[in-house]
């Protein structure tokens, strides 16, 4: 019997009706439905588990929410080598495989095993402070070193494999995976990269210069961002969700992670069709 772990962004489903509907549909197809306490308390459906058992016992993770929910769950699922299937409850849903209206077809395909798993490169970041690793992080989309709130530029140095690339006066620097090339990096003027590739993308954010451009480097490379600024309003962010304050002299070291995100693919849409659809939706939305 297939075991499905169900994650839902309850801020997008306040009453839990959509989540409850999905749990019932999973059970109707003779699959187990594991849920964490917030969902169980709201719906009284599924098998209640703690977070450790949730990932260990689930064959795959079904995520109801937007890209933010999928990103958060992907970091956890990757550490347990579990594939993830996103159903969009948000606005853009670039990482989601389907819209909520398609849930019946999606669950039929899952029950029948009629799907493929697409591996996506992830990023590992280490915060080096006074010569020691202070913290480490895992990201699917991007690692960013940016100013926090005040409207002023910050000063950063970038190195690739120990070689100095540039000194930046900018709002910040992004290091993105191919998957993350269509997220913050795209808004910052970076190129779109096919998510099937493996490489690192460095993109300055609003650089105060006429000649700063994005740099694409091999996935085996290591990118270092050094804080060269006494401003105390500089932060490191992970997929735009986790954050830590940086100090002058801190180094953020980014490389390819040992983990990979595994996204379940059912539809016949390829990346370029999806890119056109979603970016057109964004254009009309705004």
Catalytic, 53? Answer: no
| CA distance linking residue 89 with residue 69, whole number of Å | 10
Residue 206 buriedness (CB in 10 A; 0-12 / 13-18 / 19+): middle
| CA distance linking residue 82 with residue 51, whole number of Å | 14
From 28, 30, 53, 67, active-site residue: 67
CA geometry: angle at 269 spanning 268 and 274, to 5°?
A: 165
What string of H, E and C letters represents the secondary structure of 223-276? EEEEECCCCCCEEEEECCCEEEECCCCCEEEEEEEEEEEEEEECCCCCHHHHHH
Just list the catalytic residues.
Answer: 67
């Amino acid at each position: 019997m297939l075991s499905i772990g169900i994650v839902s962004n309850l801020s997008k489903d306040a009453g839990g009706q959509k989540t409850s509907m999905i749990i019932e549909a999973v059970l109707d197809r003779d699959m187990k439905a594991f849920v964490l306490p917030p969902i169980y308390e709201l719906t009284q459906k599924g098998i209640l588990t703690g977070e450790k058992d949730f990932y260990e016992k689930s064959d795959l993770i079904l995520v109801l929410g937007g890209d933010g929910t999928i990103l958060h769950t992907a970091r956890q699922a990757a550490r347990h080598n579990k594939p993830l299937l996103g159903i969009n409850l948000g606005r853009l849903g670039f990482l989601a495989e389907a819209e909520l209206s398609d849930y019946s077809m999606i669950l039929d395909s899952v029950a029948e095993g009629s799907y493929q798993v697409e591996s996506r490169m992830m990023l590992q970041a280490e915060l080096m402070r006074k010569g020691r690793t202070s913290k480490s992080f895992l990201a699917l989309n991007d690692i960013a070193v940016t100013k926090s709130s005040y409207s002023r530029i910050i000063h950063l140095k970038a190195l690739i494999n120990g070689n100095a690339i540039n000194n930046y006066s900018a709002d910040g620097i992004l290091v993105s995976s191919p998957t993350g090339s269509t997220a913050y990096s795209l808004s910052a003027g970076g190129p779109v990269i096919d998510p099937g590739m493996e490489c690192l993308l460095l993109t300055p954010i609003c650089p105060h210069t006429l000649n700063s451009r994005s740099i694409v480097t091999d996935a085996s490379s290591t990118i270092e961002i050094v804080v060269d600024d006494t401003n105390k309003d500089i932060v490191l962010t992970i997929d735009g969700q986790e954050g830590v304050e940086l100090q002058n002299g801190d180094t953020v070291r980014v490389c390819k992670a040992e983990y990979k995100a595994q996204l379940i693919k059912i539809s016949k849409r390829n990346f370029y069709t999806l890119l056109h659809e979603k970016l057109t939706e964004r254009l009309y939305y705004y």
